[in-house]
Amino acid sequence: MRCPYCRYEQSKVVDSRASEEGRSVRRRRECLSCSQRFTTYERIESTPLMVVKRDGRRERFQREKILDGIMTACEKRPVAVDKLQQLVDDIEYKLVADTAGEVRSEVIGKLVMERLQELDDVAYVRFASVYRQFKDLDAFEEELAKLKREERDAERGQSTR
């Protein structure tokens, strides 16, 4: 495994444990040249999942694209990076388990929005504004109003218990 700091090709494993509910192995490594530590993951390679884009194009599923979008939405928000990685892991696992090799990009977007809404309202609205391509302020306000209604309804449901 090549060191991401000095590019040396030899490292030693310092710690190894199951991760992502046993779907991968997380390894802490130490470079034998510069002594920097870094983390690697081993995953079972499966049949590639293809994403069908809105315009009909197909491309290979890239978890990094989802993580990048979520991290952008959560920028300057009190959400831990490991929570975001777990969110992406859960989405990827669900897609691989529930689909037959192809999934529409809209399905991925909806899954991300559902999970982000549970995690952080502001990140959810940020992601939704890009994903749903809000054309104007009215569309943005409608989404905020919907979010406020859901929050009010949830509070009422809790206060009646």
What is the residue extent of each domain of the chain?
7-45, 48-159
pLDDT reported for residue 53: 92
- The single-letter DSSP state of residue 131 is H
pLDDT reported for residue 161: 39
| Alpha-carbon gap, residue 111 to 109, rounded angstroms | 5
CB-CB contact of 128 with 69 (8 Å): no
Rg (CA), the chain: 20
| pLDDT averaged per 10 residues in sequence order, the chain, 161 residues | 94 89 86 96 80 93 93 92 90 85 90 90 84 71 78 68 39
Strand duo 102-104 + 50-52: pairing: parallel
| Alpha-carbon gap, residue 144 to 5, rounded angstroms | 43
